[in-house]
Structure formats: C-alpha cells, structure tokens
Amino acid sequence: MAAMTDIRNIVVLTGAGVSAESGIDTFRDAGGLWEQHRVEDVATPEAFERDPELVLRFYDMRREAIQQKHPNAAHEALARLDREWEGGLMIVTQNVDDLHERAGARRVVHMHGTHLNAWCTACDVRSPWTGTLIERPACPDCGERSLRPDVVWFGEMPYRMDEIFAALREADLFVSIGTSGAVYPAAGFVRNANDLGVRTLELNLEPSQGSAWFDESRHGPATQVVPPWVD
Ligand code: BJW
C-alpha cells in the first residue's frame, strides 16, 4: 500500500468474479443461463409471481452450493485490507454470498441482499435462513407462507444506497473488482466517482463494460490481481 499515501477513504465494489475462484458461478460468463433461463428472467418479482417454484428452486440450489464454498485469496486480501487500513473503507458487494465475512472482513455492505436471510413479504421481517424455501415454509414471525429470498431483483431498489453514495462522496479511491458492469446502479458507480473527482481502478479478469471509465485497469483472475494491489 506504499503508493497509496495520498489515499484515506476507499470504496471497493465487488461482483461475482471475486467469488468465481471459490467455485461460485458468475451470472454472465457461461452465457448466463440456468436451465435455459437468463438471470434477468429469474431474478425479477414478476418471475417470482409467475413461477415461484422455479425461482425458489434456483435460490435454494445456490444457497446450498454457497454453503459448501470457501473464501479465496482475493477475499482474504480484502479482509486484510479491512483489518489493517486505518482510513475509511466500505466493501460494497453485489454478491449474496458471505465469503467476504467468512474471510474476516467487517466493513461489508450487501447492496443486493444476502442468501442467509429469508424475507417475509407479509410482515416485512427478515429471518436468518440456511435451509430451503421451496416447500413454502411459514414465517417464524407471523406464520404466513410469504417467505422469499432476501435478495434484490431487477426493478427493486438495492439496499443501503444512501450510505454507499455518502461513502463515494468521501472517497479518494474507488476500486471495482470482478464485476461485468452490466447491472445498474452499481455499474454507474465509476461514473459517479469520476464526477466526484475520485480516482478509479478496475481489477477484473477482462475489460468490463465500463472499463473505459476507469483511470487504471489491471486484468487477471482476482486471486492474482487483488492480493498484490492490497499488499
Ligand atoms: C472474474 C473472474 C475471476 C470472472 N477474477 N474477475 C440504468 C440506470 C439504473 C438502472 C437501470 C438502468 N438501466 C436498467 C436499469 C435497471 C436494472 C439494470 O441494471 N438492468 C440491466 C440489465 C441494464 N437495475 C435494477 O433493476 C436495479 N434496481 C434499480 O436500478 O433500482 C432503481 C435505482 C436507480 C438508481 C439508483 C438506485 C436505484 C436492481 C438490480 C438487481 C440485480 N440483481 C442481481 C440478482 C441478485 C440476487 C442473486 O444473486 O441472484 O444481482 S442480477 C445479478 O447481476 C446479481 C449481480 O449482483 C449482478 C451483477 O453481476 P456481476 O456481479 O457483475 O456478475 P457478472 O456475471 O455479470 O460478471 C462477472 C465478472 O467477473 C465478469 O466481468 C468476468 O469477466 C469477471 N470474472 N471470473 C476476476 N476469476
């Protein structure tokens, strides 16, 4: 971190690419298909209304898979940054997995929710959830069978946007790791950062859709490009 002497506040944005080497599938790399459905067709409130079993099966499968996976060297490097960086830091993740936390990071914001919660749309209470939802279990709080995954679908408002924009306004550096830049508002953070005069760095396997907006890009697998950046 020797080259970061003029940096005090950092916002890191992570996407599916940071967890790819832990064995968690990204959304768009392999054609973005799940049983012939694009993520845009499964991850919407309309899809859930139309075919709740299909959507719940998709999330039950992913919840179970994530629990078998482990943090990789990129998560560990970011956790090290979290422990050692005395300035401001916000790790904004679009991922619903908890690999940043399992690696030891604490300053994490899940803007697209978490696979570890179920959300009752009847009473609006979120409950810790590690099992399945396909059998339409009852909400532990109100007893209604109105549980859904506590994740943000297309057309819904991502979580904690006010805090994220406040952190961007205070930031000296914005770093985007392992995200395609296909999904807004996260894809727009680099331009928000540019407008605010914040330095921007992309760490991704390949140039993302927003690459041209970054001051600097380093390409390669997250486990190889993130640790040297942190150290
Ligand atoms: C590696 C690697 C390795 C691989 N190492 N790298 C314009 C402005 C604002 C909104 C819109 C807009 N136009 C359209 C919209 C609406 C919509 C949207 O963006 N649509 C697009 C399709 C155009 N957005 C929304 O509806 C959002 N809500 C919203 O906008 O509310 C209004 C609002 C406006 C303004 C401010 C505030 C609010 C909600 C979006 C919700 C997205 N939900 C999902 C599902 C979450 C639950 C779940 O996990 O199932 O979120 S969709 C999916 O995409 C998931 C991800 O978080 C998200 C991003 O994907 P990500 O992480 O980038 O993954 P990939 O697969 O796309 O890319 C992986 C990358 O990693 C690739 O680049 C690889 O190269 C790389 N990689 N291996 C490093 N080893």
Say whether both 145 and 92 belong to one domain. Answer: no
* Predicted confidence (pLDDT) per residue in 114-158, tens digit: 999 999 999 999 999 999 999 999 999 999 999 999 999 999 999
Query: What is the CATH classification number for the domain harbouring 145?
Result: 3.30.1600.10
CB of 26 sitting under 6 A from ligand 1 = yes
CB of 204 sitting under 6 A from ligand 1 = yes
- State how far the Cα of 74 lies from the Cα of 87, in Å rounded to an integer: 20
Which two tokens mark 172? 């000296």
Q: Whose CA is nearest to atom 59 of ligand 1?
A: 183
Q: Which domain holds residue 223?
A: 1-24+71-112+158-231
CB of 28 sitting under 6 A from ligand 1 = yes
* Predicted confidence (pLDDT) per residue in 165-196, tens digit: 999 999 999 999 999 999 999 999 999 999 99
Q: Which residues are catalytic?
A: 112
Say whether both 100 and 120 belong to one domain. Answer: no
Q: Whose CA is nearest to atom 63 of ligand 1?
A: 179
Say whether both 63 and 75 belong to one domain. Answer: no
Reported ipTM: 0.95
Say whether both 37 and 97 belong to one domain. Answer: no
Q: Which atom of ligand 1 is nearest to the CA of 14?
A: 62
CB of 23 sitting under 6 A from ligand 1 = no
Tell me the sheet residues that pair with 175. 12, 201
